[in-house]
Structure 1
Amino acid sequence: MRLNDSVIGGLRAKDSAYYVFRDDGTRGTGRLGIKIFPSGRKSFVYRFQADGKRKFKTLGDWPHFTLEKATQRYAELAGMPLQSRSDAMGKKMRTGTLRELFAAFIAFKSRSGHRSTISQYGALFEQLIKLKLFTGDEIANEITSVQITRCIQHWTKQDFMSRAKEVRKKLHALFEYGIVADNDPLSDVACNGVQFQIAHNPVRNVQNFEAGTPGDRYLDFKELRYLLTLFDNEKNVLPPDVQSLVELGFYTCGQRPFELCHLQKSRYIPEQNKIVLAKEFSKTGIETAIFISNKAKEILNDQAARYPDSDFFFPNVNYEEQLKKYKKELKANPITKMEKPTTGLNSDAWKKHMNEFAKIHFDQPFSMRDIRRTFKTLAGMLHFTENERDIVNQHVNKTISKKHYDKYDYFIEKRETTLKWEKALSLLLEDDGMEIINKIMENDIVL
């Protein structure tokens, strides 16, 4: 029978599974076919003879695994000598475990340059083992949707909806990779005698859900006034790097702390009040220009003087030592929960200090990520447009292709928004600052 997408789409489910094979007029090379399940699921299969017995290999689920991919894989298998084909089908291969799938996925994401992937997925795997939700030795392609559901229920039953949604998302990505992992030319899994043979993603059948609203913590104008006044009057309320980072976050309109920690002197143009963030440190993966106000310039100058031998304004001074320790741990345990060190200051340098500081000075917890939300919320109260806030926060217009994005796009708008925000922060530090801010919010005067 001739197989194409139209024919495959027209094949109807029956009470029991059945096969339809392509007739290409050849002998001794096996057959490419498709298996139709009672549920309606359709999987490409390769049928061949070995040791006088008919054997099958599942290639992948249609339409995610395309006919073109199936044909290509069939050609690879059909071109093998009989013994090699038999070996490839499983005599010398074993089916990979969940532990090995995590390791393969982490290696794949690391090659793609996704920062924090190793620590996030490594920590997730360790947590699944610690909670006894999985042992890690389960055969990956035998894990069912029911097992995934029970795993996620560990968090939903405790009302940890955000964490539950995050776990579902990560497991979905893990098994999506598992479907194509056997055909990943850069993976070492097959070389090590492992095949996953995952035909479908068990997470797809697990109902998705809403995790609730995002965090809503931000400093109000009184709290922000208190914080800025405290920083102006006392220089040691936080470690110098952390205090400078918090201030810089506010005076750059809430730029991401990871990105601020990786600003480089070699990319700073002080006479133009401009600094360019390298794409390898950008969340969006593209270079972006940040306008540096006068106050932000003072902060960067202080940091440059503090670390004259580093190209980074906020260097991780223990980077080499941490990297050596990390590589040793990674070699001993490929699925490590240890966070990969960064050349710039990392979150371990400020989390503890910020938590202690917030307990002393505020009624509610306050973290680095709340700085961005504080800017967006308070700027909105001061009648900054949504477009102004998005542009200065490096939210690229989705209609603009990254290929054609220029790092200097909207720089004039960024400058105007940053200067207007700096003016608002300056007003807060004046004796009658709160009164003026209230008038601006009520539209009695314009900022």
Structure 2
Amino acid sequence: MLTEKQIRALKPREKDYVISDGRSARGEGVLVIKVRPNGTKEFYFQRHVAGKKKLTKLGTWPTLSLTAARDCSRGEKEVRASDGAFQDVLDAYITKLKGEGAASASDVEWSFRHYVSEPFPDLVKRPASLLGPGDIRDILVRMIEAGITTYCNRLRSQLHAAFQMALEQEFNPRSYQKKVLRFGLQSNPVASVPVQSDWEQPGDRALSTEELATLWQMLPEFLSLTTSELLKFLIAAGGQRPEQLLATERRNYLKDHLIMRSNKGVEGERSLHVVPYNKLMRQSLKVMDEISESSVFPFEGKVVGASLHTNSLSRAVTKLYGRHADKFNGPFTLRDLRRTCKTLMGVAGLNKELKDRIQGHAFGDVSSKHYDRYDYFKEKQRGLQRWAAWLQSNVVSAKLE
């Protein structure tokens, strides 16, 4: 066992060297002090994970005393570092979403890769059990420094869900024995990182009829053909959720309707959302069929076999406004188009319940949730046909000044 006197007497050498504070039980880890060539003496907690030595810095002597370092060491011993790395948690969560058919799976996968795995390659290799709130904070700080606001909260939510899944795997007595990979988590490191609530104010931007007509008639000229037809289809379909539509494969586009899977709700509760076609929707699908009738997704992106990504669509809309701001009454985003459709469908004569059903909103009352199994297909079909007729007269064929 080390003493303060022995630590004080340790002399620097040409290279770093480490002195251990005695022994501990196998697998528990041990307190060590590292002496730098410049004379700095640092306390570390050392453990072996998957055959490799892992060091966690506790502090610098004498600012951190030997007694305090031992207290910190005892706290570290309570954390069992398992083989499961941070990247394994991310991968397992994505696999879970894909297995459930969640429409958000591709977005979450892109988000983890773009904001976590690629910018922090060393961090994702660390055992998940050794991550703390500070590590999550640093990931989000990088996004904030890049000017990303609302999506910062989205990533926080995705990471929280991933770690929550890993925790449930760790403590669910029915599934624990079935899992070979263990994470050793005791808590969710994301829970202590606050949501930036001022970035979560509900939006209220909806385009006017004239603005929607301007946007529609600009599409073929100012955006790619696939992006233009996708935006037309989304609008003609009453403002469907882009991430759900883009996750829907061609095989789910049937003769007179398409079937999407709602990503709302927890495992086992994600429901199918049926959207009947109208004339304008069929026109867009016909254009995409002329490009390819065999692609996995009707609205295929640059990568063969992969759908256009929601983030690419969102950026296209934002850039389109930026280049032609003088033609609109103010900024708008992809998300605002769903609100625009909801608002203007009311102008076209559709009632609130029908608009909600067309957009796939969940009905939380007991009757709807547990007893009503009617599909409302004919009602939605008539509603979307009425919406298409209104769009044709007021948007598609509108004469702009």
Please tell me the TM-score bracket, short chain as reference: 0.5 to 0.7
Q: Which residue of 2 aligns with 1:247?
A: 232
Change (3 A) 1:221 1:146: same
Secondary structure of residue in 2 paired with 1:414: helix
Q: Which residue of 2 aligns with 1:339?
A: none
* Cα distance between partner residues in 2 of 1:266 and 1:159: 38
Equivalent residue in structure 1 for 2:304, among 319, 322, 325: 319
* Cα distance between partner residues in 1 of 2:83 and 2:49: 21
Q: Map of 1:286-305 to 2, 5 A cutoff?
A: 286-305=271-290
Q: Map of 1:143-222 to 2, 5 A cutoff?
A: 143-145=131-133, 162-182=150-170, 184=176, 187-190=179-182, 196-208=183-195, 210=197, 211-222=199-210
Deviation at 1:253, TM superposition (A): 0.5
Q: Map of 1:7-22 to 2, 5 A cutoff?
A: none
Secondary structure of residue in 2 paired with 1:359: helix
Equivalent residue in structure 1 for 2:257, among 255, 258, 275: 275
Q: Structure 1 counterpart of 2:258, which letter?
A: V
Deviation at 1:266, TM superposition (A): 6.7
Show structure 2 runs of 5+ residues with no match.
Answer: 1-23, 29-47, 53-79, 265-269
Equivalent residue in structure 1 for 2:394, among 420, 423, 428: 428
Deviation at 1:252, TM superposition (A): 0.9
Q: Which residue of 2 aligns with 1:120?
A: 111
Q: Which residue of 1 aligns with 2:357?
A: 391
| 8 A Cα contact 2:235 2:341, kept in partner | yes
Secondary structure of residue in 2 paired with 1:358: helix
Q: Structure 2 counterpart of 1:118, which letter?
A: E
Change (3 A) 1:128 1:367: same
Q: Which residue of 1 aligns with 2:129?
A: 141
* Cα distance between partner residues in 1 of 2:396 and 2:135: 60
Q: Which residue of 1 aligns with 2:60?
A: none
Change (3 A) 1:172 1:306: closer
Equivalent residue in structure 1 for 2:379, among 413, 416, 420: 413
Show structure 1 runs of 5+ residues with no match.
Answer: 1-51, 57-89, 191-195, 321-341, 435-447
| 8 A Cα contact 1:97 1:136, kept in partner | no
Q: Which residue of 2 aligns with 1:257?
A: 242
Q: Which residue of 2 aligns with 1:61?
A: none
1:299-354 per-position Cα deviation (integer Å, ceiling 9, x unaligned): 2233323323446433457425xxxxxxxxxxxxxxxxxxxxx3x33347645654
Q: Structure 2 counterpart of 1:122, which letter?
A: R
TM-score by length of 2: 0.60
1:230-273 per-position Cα deviation (integer Å, ceiling 9, x unaligned): 56xxx54432222221211111111223444436367422xxxx
Q: Structure 2 counterpart of 1:121, which letter?
A: F
Deviation at 1:423, TM superposition (A): 3.2
1:412-434 per-position Cα deviation (integer Å, ceiling 9, x unaligned): 22123223322332331599999
1:345-395 per-position Cα deviation (integer Å, ceiling 9, x unaligned): 334764565444333434455544332121123334566433222110011
* Cα distance between partner residues in 2 of 1:156 and 1:316: 28
Change (3 A) 1:170 1:308: closer
Secondary structure of residue in 2 paired with 1:301: helix
Change (3 A) 1:314 1:176: closer
* Cα distance between partner residues in 2 of 1:293 and 1:384: 15
* Cα distance between partner residues in 2 of 1:253 and 1:308: 24
Deviation at 1:99, TM superposition (A): 8.6
* Cα distance between partner residues in 2 of 1:294 and 1:251: 9
* Cα distance between partner residues in 2 of 1:91 and 1:97: 7
Q: Which residue of 2 aligns with 1:16?
A: none
Q: Which residue of 2 aligns with 1:346?
A: 309
Name the count of aligned residue pairs: 313
